[in-house]
Chain A
Amino acid sequence: MAEIDVLIVGAGPAGMAAAIEAGKAGLRVVVLEQHQTPGGAIFRQAIADAPAVRIPPRVAAIRHELSAAFAASRIETRYGHVFLGIDSDGFVLAEDRNTGAFVTLKAKSIVLALGAVEKILPRPGWERAGVSTAGGLQVMMKETGRAPAGRVLLAGNGPLLVAVAAQMAALGNPPVAVIEAGDPFRRFAAGVALAAFHQHLAVEAFGYLRELRRHRVEWQRGATLQRIERDGEGLIACVRNSAGEIKFIRADRIGLHDGIRSNEFGLAPANARGPLVVHAGDCREALGAEAAIADGRAAGMRVAAALRGFTHAEPRELTRLRQAEAILSRLFAPVETAHPLAALPDDTVLCRCENRNVGELKALCGGADGLTGREVKHHGRFAMGSCQGRFCADNTAALMAHLRPDLPAPQARDLTGTRWPIRPVPIAALAASGVGQAKEQEI
């Protein structure tokens, strides 16, 4: 079989766009995707006969065009493949979930389009069953065509919360409330900038808000979810509203969301002797689907050009889309200016996988030795667990920085480090692959 020119990891917007472009250049392209369908989280396909989740017409058109071009490109796509990393010899490692086999692939160039993960701030009780990310609720809703059942509370920060709320309402189960740390109605300058330069985003936002009003969903701005407690079979959310009053809201499910960030956890820097490795889309810079398509297309052109000895610059539309993200983050800037982690009680879980809490981090950081991020991981097991720091490394690094203002601020990467596998893989699959044995023979 011909050697792979371009191996693309992830069939979300960036991966699909990169595949289409590299394919147009006549290169042999292979895509690995962990799910059984293309689209990633943002364009997750509905199962047969499920009603579609409502998305703005403009986004639907972008999605349709991309999906049609990807289908027409007939790029070889291996579904059910979980990416595990790139080893020091430049081999791409993956687990084929269809067979349970460990797969190693060699390619001249690699495009990593691993998307984004949601940022979730810890709150006491965030580790309970029934609590998920708001994006998690949304992706399940896209898959099943069903709104999450029961009393659903959405809380955190950012425009995704109102989008999910409106989509739930349209599918017949509006959330009991949306708790938003920011107050876009008070950020006039950012609101004017959004309407002036990115009118379609303002139009889409008003569409969502109109849907919420129609279903009498309260969008509580300048409010924060303080903690989550058990309430029989359900949950009870303790919310501080913009007037500083504490209110309790009963819910069966709570969806949290505090923004998104690149899913580049654990990825080693490219090896100069190895294949060309390019990060694309949200995996390079989390700017959303439209930017991911533009960036993925550029990544496809870039690897195609590089294989022929040319260089290729960042697409120009990224400047505009980066500006839109910056305006949105000003618009949704939290009203509360205190550090969101500073007042957490000591028993708040920071690292859910290893069950490590705020008090344990304070104890580690209290010594005179000024532990590094790496030492906090190795001594304290923060970011050591099976999510590999995806949901705690940012928060742990931020709290370390807050606790020790006189020391250099650690980054998430200092805690997570870089390695393969970047995701758990059954030891049996690894052992059966012979990867370790091959290494020994080389030595």
Chain B
Amino acid sequence: MTAPIFRFKGRAIPFRPGESVAAALDAAGVTLLGHDALGQANRYFCGIGACQNCVALIDGVVRETCLTLAAQGMVVVPMEDAGG
């Protein structure tokens, strides 16, 4: 059976069930998750939903990647590509 995946910038990111989006991206070597409106790096930082640094647009909603469980077929978009 192949590992489940989600999409980040067109890349297929594999994950293990129960893993957060942040952990799966980290395992895939992604440390830069995008850039916010002021140009600061979005990156994994506190791991507990407090800092808001690791946010991305996940299936259309801005979410902390550290608090969001990865799911098959999920689409994760960096903040600079979130539009609006």
Contacts and interface: CB of A to CB of B under 8 A. Distances in A.
A426 B61 contact: yes
A34 B47 contact: no
Contact of B31 (A47, A97, A129, A390): A129
A423 interface: yes
Main secondary structure of the interface of A (DSSP, over half): loop
A48 B50 contact: no
A144 B19 contact: yes
Contacts of A349: 40
Interface string A125-160: 001111111011111100110101100000000000
A47 B24 CA distance: 12
A135 B29 CA distance: 19
Contacts, number: 116
Given A34-B67, A146-B27, A41 B48 contact: yes
B17 A149 contact: no
B69 A36 contact: yes
Nearest to B20: A143
Interface of B: 16-20, 22-23, 26-27, 29, 31-33, 36, 38-53, 55, 61-63, 66-69
A208 interface: no
Contact of B49 (A127, A138, A143, A423): A423
A144 B23 contact: yes
A352 B69 CA distance: 25
A127 B19 contact: no
Contacts of A128: 41, 43
**Which among B32, B50, B66 has the highest number of chain A CB atoms within 10 Å?**
B50
B61 A136 contact: no
A386 B46 contact: no
B52 A132 contact: no
Interface residues of A, number: 48
Contact of A387 (B19, B41, B50, B61): B50
Given A127-B41, A132-B44, A34 B49 contact: yes
A118 interface: yes
Contacts of B31: 129-130, 252-253
Contact of B67 (A97, A252, A386): A97
B17 A48 contact: yes
11 contacts: A47-B16, A50-B16, A82-B67, A97-B63, A100-B61, A127-B41, A130-B43, A143-B18, A352-B53, A355-B39, A387-B50
Interface in A250-298: 252-253, 263
A143 B50 contact: no
A138 B23 CA distance: 12
Contact of B27 (A149, A385, A424): A149
A323 B40 CA distance: 40
A129 B39 contact: no
Which interface residue of A117, A118, A136, A146 has the most chain B CB atoms within 10 A? A136
